[in-house]
């Protein structure tokens, strides 16, 4: 929930914080990507830049394996 809210509120620091929490809690990359998709559907085009930021951050946090 925190991860989704951080994207909708467009806060990059919160996106990183909550994504790290998701990964530490054992969420899969697919689950995180599903959250991103739902947030963009619900939040609209204003969330695109922060969703892209989250995708790039996910790739960094996972060592480049997230989007491969």
Does residue 13 fall inside a structural domain?
Answer: yes
Does residue 40 fall inside a structural domain?
Answer: yes
- Give the phi and the psi of residue 9 in degrees, each rounded to 5: -85, -5
CB within 8 Å of 24: residues ≥ 6 apart:
none
**pLDDT tens string 6-61:** 999 999 999 999 999 999 999 999 999 999 999 999 999 999 999 999 999 999 99
Range of the domain at 26: 2-61
Instruction: State pTM to two decimals.
Output: 0.85
The enclosing domain of 26 has a CATH number of: 1.20.1290.10
Does residue 68 fall inside a structural domain?
Answer: no
């Amino acid at each position: 929930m925190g991860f989704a809210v951080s994207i909708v509120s467009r806060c990059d620091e919160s996106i990183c914080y909550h994504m790290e929490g998701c990964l530490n809690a054992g969420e899969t990359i697919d689950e995180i990507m599903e959250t991103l998709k739902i947030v963009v559907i619900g939040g609209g085009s204003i969330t695109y830049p922060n969703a892209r930021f989250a995708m790039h951050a996910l790739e960094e946090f996972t060592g480049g394996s997230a989007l491969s």
